[in-house]
Structure 1
Amino acid sequence: RWSWPGPNKRPVYNFRSEGREFGSNRCLIVADGFYEFTDPKDPKKKRKDKWLFTKRDGPIFCIAGIWRKTDDVGEAFTMLTMEPGPDITPYHDRQIVILERHAWADWLDPAIPAQSLIKRLPQGSLRVDQVG
């Protein structure tokens, strides 16, 4: 069994997946995109550059997650992270675990090892647009 990191009353939004199996409480987090932020290319700009990542082969995707019940907020979830794939590497040193469509049902089956489903997407799987 995995244990939730940090104090019980503090929400956890991202959790490293490396070396963990997540034999229970797996969930799918449906999304149509996510953002990463980088230092601005223009030194006069005060805000960071904002990049939108979407999946090239469909309007939605699923992020591997885990959930638990808490005393203070009820059911809570967190997104798993991993080393970045080739589309993310220029923008960040970590990334959320995006599951391929064929792995969605398998992620919910605790009999299937989590690490067999956590994989980098092939280069070009994500579209990247600067949006700010």
Structure 2
Amino acid sequence: MCNDYEQHIRWAEYCEMMQALKFGIPSHQSELDLPRADDIKVNDMAPVMRTAGNDIELTQLNFGLPSSGRGGPAFNFRSEGRHFAESKRCLIPASAFFEFTGKKYPKAKHRFALNDAPFMAIAGIWRDGHGNHPPSFAMLTTMPGPDVEPYHNRQVVVLRPENWAAWIYLTSSEPELLQPLPEGSLTVETVRAGAD
């Protein structure tokens, strides 16, 4: 599952998108709130978009919800059959996400980017920090769409910009929002060949 994504969004692109969507940007926000990264992995701090009064703010959270028992952090969260009205919803801005194929290390690495938009937002949930654990987030997943299915049996929920507000404010039902995109929505590029 997706445990690696990149964030190369320019601040001007971000501001332009937010203005087009009629989202307010807090006056204290700057390009420092949207640092670029080639690989954001589990337990890295990364920017997410969440509500702050009438605005949408960027804030740094830990990638991966702490485990309530044994095991590592939950970085992917299955969306089917769940309701998120009582959850803290967020958008995870990304240039692309990665999936890996193969049985031997290093596995082949495939990059998925959204067509027809300068960047994507992945549907997520976040939780406050407790004890030693900082505030954190996880990506929501669903069944794979036709662009991802040849590479993995699940995929993260990529929201088109026109659905960002519907997720943040939950003005549409979960089954309407949390589904894979139609064929041809994502560009796929193999960025690393796997071991033979």
TM-score, structure 1 as length reference: 0.85
Aligned-partner SS, 2:125: strand
Which letter does structure 1 place at the counterpart of 2:157? V
Q: In the alignment, which of 96, 111, 122 is matched to residue 52 of structure 1? A: 111
Between Structure 1 and Structure 2, how many residues are aligned? 125
Residue equivalent to 1:7:
68
Gap regions ≥5 residues in structure 1: none
Change (3 A) 1:49 1:114: same
Aligned-partner SS, 2:151: coil
Q: Measure how far apart 1:39 and its partner are.
A: 1.2
Q: Measure how far apart 1:117 and its partner are.
A: 1.0
Q: Deviations over 1:20-47 (max 9, x none)?
A: 011131111100001111117xxxx852
Is 1:100 aligned to residue 163 of structure 2? no
Identical counterparts, % of pairs: 46
- Greater RCO between the two (CA within 8 Å, min separation 6)? 1
Kindly report the root-mean-square deviation, in angstroms, between the aligned alpha carbons of the 2 structures: 2.2
Which letter does structure 2 place at the counterpart of 1:25? K
Which letter does structure 1 place at the counterpart of 2:138? T
TM-score, structure 2 as length reference: 0.58
Aligned-partner SS, 1:70: coil
- Residues 66, 80 of structure 1: 8 Å contact kept: yes
- The structure with the largest helix share of the pair is 2
Rounded to whole Å, the distance in 1 between the matches of 2:155 and 2:105 is 25
Q: Measure how far apart 1:119 and its partner are.
A: 2.1
Aligned-partner SS, 1:107: helix
Matches within 5 A, 1:1-132: 6-7=67-68, 10-23=72-85, 24-39=87-102, 46-71=105-130, 72-132=132-192
Rounded to whole Å, the distance in 2 between the matches of 1:85 and 1:111 is 23
